[in-house]
Structure 1
Amino acid sequence: MDKIETILKNIEPIIMNCRKKTNIPSWQLDDYLQEGMIIALEMYHQLLLDPPDDDFNFYVYFKVRYSCFLIDQYRRNMAVKRKFDQIDYCELSEAFYLFDQNQDVSENVMYNLLCQEIHLLLSPEERELFEALKNGQKIDRNQKFRIKKKIIEYIKRFW
């Protein structure tokens, strides 16, 4: 395997770790990997032109540079002048359709377990209203508020 291929393979865990620490809302996994590889290739070409001292660790330098890049991107995306581009909230009925598209298997399992626990928590009438919300049906806002309050109180016990 070529040296650059080895470097690109070895930086993937660093990219995943930095992704957990700095989550940019509009980015997918491919965006993180692509930007990480671009930065690694730029660093590699710089090192070919100007070799560093003997005790230089490429991966440490990459992690610092990549994490700073992600912080800059996060700040740029979350700037006040770009707030109008962001979603203020996600309607409950919309959130139930999004869960399997952008989440991995473990997140889907946790989501399904939480839904099962919520079903045990709610009364039969509230369960029907909860299912109606999941299906995008309109319900009375007072009933919606009571269900939401009950679910939030349940979740707060674990945080």
Structure 2
Amino acid sequence: MFFFVTFFYNMTIILKEGVTKKSMYNIELNELFSHVKPIIFKLMRSYFIQLWETDDWLQEGRLVLYNLIESNPELRNNQKKLFVYFKTKFSSHIKDTIRHQESFKRKLNRLPYQEISEVSHRIPEKGLVLDDFVAYQSIIEELKPYLTTKEKSQFKALLRGERFSGRKSLLRKLKPFFIDFQ
């Protein structure tokens, strides 16, 4: 019983059950691939495909080269023609992939987006939200008439984060005004 199995990277051909042979085709394909790698890298700089890394680009380049050699075996002997054919075929393949990626139906295949509007109040933020800031400023304005001149200067030092004598007593006096901000 004869059957043929081709593994892409290995290019091992099984001729009979249990008998394997390395193909000369593998060596030739790897050599041709090393010649067309610069084309792949150039196109990689020109186009962006989501979630593709360098290995993905190289794998797609190998596949396109393999299919090109299978459909046009005469390209093995003519490198100039191979370069032109490969560049055209590979750039078309990349453009098709980008078209596939950008199509309206495939918009859901993009990186995950989560709607957070319902739980945004649980996300910690630096500083105060605008309405809290306005309420804070209005409390400070209401507080000023209740403070003496010395307490006002201590309060300004407190806002700057400075340390001073009488800090604890000032904080105790201000605590009822800022009960909503705990």
With normalisation by structure 1, the TM-score equals 0.50
With normalisation by structure 2, the TM-score equals 0.44
Flag the structure with higher strand content: 2
Flag the structure with higher helix content: 1
Larger radius of gyration: 2
